[in-house]
Amino acid sequence: MAENTVYSLAKTLQHTDGLERDFSQMLSALRDTIEKDYLLKIRSAADTEKAFAVEHPPREVTLLRALSAFMDENGKQQIDRMTRSLLFLHSMQHVQRSMEDFTAGNLLEARSTDTSVDANPPSAQSARMAGLFLALALADQF
């Protein structure tokens, strides 16, 4: 007698332990890939922007830091919050300028220093997406 394929398939589908395990492994692999290929790069770019803002603060931040020495603890906390806000805005302005350089076609200014001349540069839409993701990551850091 021939094997009943419906019976075999129904039996396989009834036991979902393997299927659940397979989906769990796929989701884990997908999560790891997204983390490695995208999120780490976004966070790294945000770290770079934040470090630039901290190393090259605007004059207002320098003034607030100088005034902080003459404040009580509550005043120092307020100045610290203002300083973080100004550094965040300074970082966002730097990102905005980078995006404008890129979308204006000034590829020499927009291109990263660690890459050679690219025959296939990113599109303006990709640059806007990168700017958005960078802004979200910076908001999380400040």
Query: Which residues have a Cβ under 8 Å from the Cβ of 60 and sit 6 or more positions away?
Result: 86
pTM: 0.71
Cα–Cα distance for residue pair 60/86, rounded to 1 Å: 8
Per-residue pLDDT of the chain (142 residues; tens, 9 = 90+): 577 889 888 888 888 777 888 899 999 999 999 999 999 999 999 999 999 999 999 999 999 999 999 999 999 999 999 999 999 999 999 999 988 888 777 655 555 555 555 667 788 888 889 999 999 999 999 8
Give the alpha-carbon dihedral of 120, 123, 126, 132, to 10 degrees. Answer: 130
